[in-house]
Amino acid sequence: MRYFYENAKISDVISWTMASPALLIGLICCPYVISIYPKFENMFASLNAKLPYLTVFYLSNGWWFCSFVPFMVCLVMIFGLIKFKNSPISIIFAAGGLIIVWGILSSEIVAIFLPILELQRNLN
């Protein structure tokens, strides 16, 4: 135990703390969102309504974008954290990975629910 406390630097602790949510989002949540897409795709096709650009983008490119990009970002982030251990550069890898993966997941959620909210607004 003493060896761990002596060699752990604050940059390493911060970078792995920031990387944990990105790994959770990228490796667990994004595949779950992919399983939801076919259900929404069928629902939006039956509406015959004009969809927002973000929704059209995710429905046409969602399969590779939602699975491949977050997974690759997580791999690059893990590589950077291991390669630049105990270095301030590892914080850049962790923060960049967290921002990219979080941005992709949040835009996926907006893309799925924006047409539903617009349809509800038009009905009122």
pLDDT tens, 37-83? 777 778 887 877 788 888 888 888 766 777 788 888 888 888 888 88
**CA angle centred on 19, ends 109 and 9, rounded to 5°:** 160
Q: Which residues are CB-contacts of 13 (< 8 A; sequence separation ≥ 6)?
A: none
| Domain annotation covers residue 94 | yes
Domain that holds residue 95: 30-118
| Domain annotation covers residue 97 | yes
| Domain annotation covers residue 12 | no
| Domain annotation covers residue 40 | yes
Q: 6-39 pLDDT, tens per residue?
A: 556 777 777 888 788 888 877 777 677 777 777 7
User: How many structural domains compose the chain?
Assistant: 1
Q: What is the pLDDT of residue 5?
A: 54
| Domain annotation covers residue 102 | yes
